[in-house]
Amino acid sequence: MHRFTKAFKTFPPQLWLLCLGALLTSIGNAAVFPFFTVYLNQKLGASMTLVGALLSLNSFLSLFSQTIGGELADRWGRKSTILLGLATGAVVWLWMGTVRSIVAIIPVLIAAGLIGNLSGPATQSMIADLIPSERRTEAYSLQRIAVNLGFAIGPAIGGFIATRSYVLLFISAAVLVLIVAFIFALFIRETKPEGEPILAVDPQNGNGYKAVLKDRLFMAFCLLSILSMLGYAQIMTTLPVYMKKWHNISEAYFGTLMSINGGMIVLLQFPIARLVEPFNKAISLAVGSLIYAFGFTMVGFSGAFYLFAISMAVITLGELVTAPVSTAFTADLAPEHLRGRYMGVSGLTWGISFALGALVGGAAMDRIDPRFIWFGSGVLSALAGIGFIVIKQFVKRRFQKAGAR
């Protein structure tokens, strides 16, 4: 315990401010997202196919906000990009509270997709600017602890508010985002390295993303991450409806599942991040993906709440292994002047996974036995685990060349 306490004290104060912001915004997000499919399906009357299509559209559009956010973080600065993302996010939450039909919510979801992930690459880049390579896995694990502490708290609050008023739920999320924007505006400093060229690459490569896309190892990592996370996307989309409609398990119990997920991460993320730090990153990602595969498959065999809870614990273990390593891997690969863009592309893996997962999962629930959604997710995560093992030597060589290993 003393070793952990000493490690915490060596991080700069700005990292803790970023963690505070992550905590508050994740409380708002986690209060809404787990129940949003129920809101669209049961309050606004959308079929699960339409729900999946709308969420897929939202996630597809979020790809643009990731790339724009990465570009702005490298050109305009980390702090300004973060504040822009927070301000526009609050506006979208308030707008969402005014709609009363499925047609009216479509432009809201479009707007949410276009601006929803603006601040993500800037935040990840700011942490990379502040923290040296050898401690980034730990630093990103602290941010994840903050996010998942919010996810442990948020669903319980969201489930309570959602049973009374979804409008109040959206307003509450907006207020939390505005509080974070105020704190950041006053107390965080810009960390973007000075003296770098505006384009950061030669003019024929345009805005710099061409240079990122030419990094074959990084692109392989992104592809395997998408396969690994397709099942995780189902947790926020089809799982709450699957539990309620097929097994008569209410939103409150789903909120408890999310609290299990967040609670495990709060308690175990930092120790596990320190545990996996010495190992080859590809092996850590492979182990996490195979654990994901086991957990997703377990969901397909679950019917009672306690079985869903055990499945969630297994899935969370996979997340504990893979998530901080993924972000640290991206930060290590990225040159300083392309750091925001690398983080933007890395963030696309979640957006693509969510878009594909929501579209396929929603359509499948209207047409086939929903258990096969989870069996298929398990197979894809297992394939991703095998893929990470295959690229192990390439990862090792890359880090050796960069002096990271």
Ordered DSSP codes for 278-332: TS-HHHHHHHHHHHHHHHHHHHHT--SHHHHHHHHHHHHHHHHHHHHHHHHHHHH
Q: Which helix (H) or strand (E) holds 4?
A: helix 2-9
pLDDT digits (tens, 9 = 90+) for 57-110: 887 787 788 888 998 998 889 999 999 999 999 999 899 888 888 888 889 888
Look at residue 225 in the predicted model and tell me its pLDDT: 94
Which residue from 228, 219, 217, 342 is spatially nearest to 285, judged by alpha carbons? 228
Q: Between these two residues, 5 and 177, which has the higher pLDDT value?
A: 177
Which residue from 125, 137, 96 is spatially nearest to 113, judged by alpha carbons? 96
Residue 202: pLDDT over 50:
no
Tokens of 312: 């969630």
- Residue 27 pLDDT grade (very low, low, confident, very high; cuts 50, 70, 90): very high
pLDDT digits (tens, 9 = 90+) for 145-190: 998 788 778 888 888 887 778 888 899 999 999 999 999 999 999 9
* Mean pLDDT, range 300-321, rounded to an integer: 91
Look at residue 40 in the predicted model and tell me its pLDDT: 85
Residue 317: pLDDT over 60:
yes
Q: Are 180 and 295 within 8 A, CB to CB?
A: no
Residue 3: pLDDT over 70:
no
Q: List % helix, strand, coil for the chain (3-state, nearest 5).
A: 85, 0, 15
CA-derived radius of gyration, the chain? 20
- Residue 401 pLDDT grade (very low, low, confident, very high; cuts 50, 70, 90): low
- C-alpha span between 324 and 293 (Å, rounded): 19
* Mean pLDDT, range 333-358, rounded to an integer: 84
- C-alpha span between 281 and 353 (Å, rounded): 21
* Mean pLDDT, range 245-251, rounded to an integer: 78
* Mean pLDDT, range 136-148, rounded to an integer: 89
Q: pTM for this one? A: 0.79
Look at residue 403 in the predicted model and tell me its pLDDT: 56
Residue 204: pLDDT over 80:
no
Look at residue 7 in the predicted model and tell me its pLDDT: 62
Look at residue 85 in the predicted model and tell me its pLDDT: 92
Residue 198: pLDDT over 50:
no
Q: Are 319 and 232 within 8 A, CB to CB?
A: yes
Q: Which range among 163-172, 360-369, 392-401 shows the weakest confidence by mean pLDDT?
A: 392-401
- C-alpha span between 38 and 240 (Å, rounded): 7
Residue 141: pLDDT over 80:
yes
3-state secondary structure at position 214: coil
Mean pLDDT score of the chain, rounded to an integer? 85
Domains of the chain by start residue, with CATH: 13-191+213-402 (1.20.1250.20)
Residue 404: pLDDT over 60:
no
Look at residue 250 in the predicted model and tell me its pLDDT: 76
Residue 195: pLDDT over 60:
no
Residue 203: pLDDT over 50:
no
Look at residue 334 in the predicted model and tell me its pLDDT: 83
Look at residue 206 in the predicted model and tell me its pLDDT: 44
Query: Percent of the chain scored above 90 by pLDDT?
Result: 33
Which residue from 35, 60, 106, 53 is spatially nearest to 361, judged by alpha carbons? 53
